[in-house]
Chain A
């Protein structure tokens, strides 16, 4: 069993190659900017007299969900960039030949890489989301979004993208694979917007297009579930509808669809990579 060796190797490569360092530094810069924004935003909010009860908590919650939406986006981009050339790119470079000639199953190479990238994203999302929740709590005194399920759902969305990118990378070179994965990812984003508009306009066709896009690639739907978990307070539901979340988050079925999606993608990646000639 060499899956853990490949996973550890994958993790070490990303750390050594400073992919993670670059992402961490940029995210740190983003968090600083975000903190400044929250500080001014919160000050203005307090200087605004009146408003219904629970407004402050709702607005703070929205600021957090918006911030986490950006983190989720960075995590998605990172997931795709890390894994889009993980198999075919290495085959083209010739770095995988000596490893694949060892007593290692092809499935162990695929799953090892998946585990490695997932661990990396877990650390990235865990640390950056915690910092963001902490920043909001320190500045506003409101502890919002302190739930485990939010970051876990964000990680699941990234895992879906890693699985998809690995499946593509078992056959396609990095560039076409990247184009396809990003196109699917964008389809889900746009599909989510169409679904919301359809909901407002009570257009069944638009609504169904959105649902279909979520079944095709559930990244956006999983985020909607995450944002629903993260948003708290009286106005959170209404306020977080719009760019950062859905007014009625998907049901638990979406988790099942996401699980199936991931299993299918990884199954395809393993099968297709195992049959490939080097």
Chain B
């Protein structure tokens, strides 16, 4: 495959009646990348996922998947998908579900039985292979759903909230599976609310809010800006806000959280507080987590 792009969205919008669910999104995911897609509820994540799969049609823009137009049979043949609802026909047994999807995914008849067995073992459902899905817990449904998404040996896997119903051990298992997929060169598009999960497995992330991408990049780049916490007397906040600008400062329980670009800025802030003759009690480096980034983006719509 000469095309280095696994998923490419160019100027994609989706309008439902009067609401613009997705607003001019341009995004690309490279082959073999584990890509995290984050955003608050109702931000347009699932709509974008469904447009990538050809389940929903964009009102503007183009989407390409593995070098093919999104939704074309050729593109779908190489994509695995775990829907957010992970609801499957519960009159099937786990093994029957996987066999059915293997046939739909055009897996060669001679490979099907082995593939199904391996996947059920991979997700820890080997002993329940012949039980009906109606007897499965939510977590088990999600695991069989993950196996279902992998049954066609896809080159691209799209997982919509793959661990929402899992316990911590199940979550770790899924993270391990995602890393294994990455090692095998499979592209993974991970839609998740669980920031720690995205933080642990993803090479790159995009954050979407109100239908538009508000941050995108490698995790360490997005998180490179530091945050410090300042505990100081009255008047410090005004001095700090004046020094670094309103948008970089938050006040939490009387302490100031300030985003700074480098150490020089920290020294400058300390000097300003001292010059303002405000007592300075404590300056702490609090780092930055994806959660901070996410909350900031969701609250203010910028980074």
Contact = CB atoms under 8 A, between A and B. Distances in A.
Interface of A: 2, 5, 9, 13, 16-17, 93-95, 97-105, 275, 277-278
Contacts of A105: 73
B194 interface: no
Interface of B: 50, 53-57, 73-74, 76-77, 79, 81-83, 85, 87-89, 91-92, 100-101, 103-106, 145, 148-149, 152
Given A5-B104, A101-B81, A95 B89 contact: yes
Given A101-B55, A278-B50, A278-B56, A95 B88 contact: yes
Given A99-B104, A101-B81, A277 B55 contact: yes
A173 B227 CA distance: 51
Contact of B105 (A94, A100, A102, A278): A102
Contact of B148 (A17, A93, A98, A277): A98
Contacts of B85: 94, 97
A277 B15 CA distance: 11
A97 B101 CA distance: 12
B53 A101 contact: yes
A100 B55 CA distance: 7
A238 B92 CA distance: 51
Nearest to B58: A277
A98 B145 contact: yes
A5 B100 contact: yes
A102 B104 contact: yes
Contacts of A5: 100, 103-104
30 contacts: A5-B100, A5-B104, A9-B100, A16-B91, A17-B91, A94-B83, A97-B81, A97-B85, A97-B87, A98-B82, A98-B88, A98-B148, A99-B101, A101-B53, A101-B55, A101-B76, A101-B81, A102-B101, A102-B105, A102-B152, A103-B74, A103-B77, A103-B105, A104-B76, A105-B73, A277-B50, A277-B56, A277-B57, A278-B55, A278-B56
A97 B104 contact: no
Given A101-B53, A101-B55, A278-B56, A95 B87 contact: yes
B73 A98 contact: no
Given A17-B91, A278-B50, A278-B55, A98 B101 contact: yes
Given A94-B87, A98-B145, A105-B73, 20 more contacts: A2-B104, A5-B103, A5-B104, A16-B91, A94-B85, A95-B89, A97-B87, A98-B81, A98-B82, A98-B83, A100-B55, A101-B79, A101-B81, A101-B83, A102-B76, A102-B105, A103-B73, A103-B76, A103-B77, A103-B105
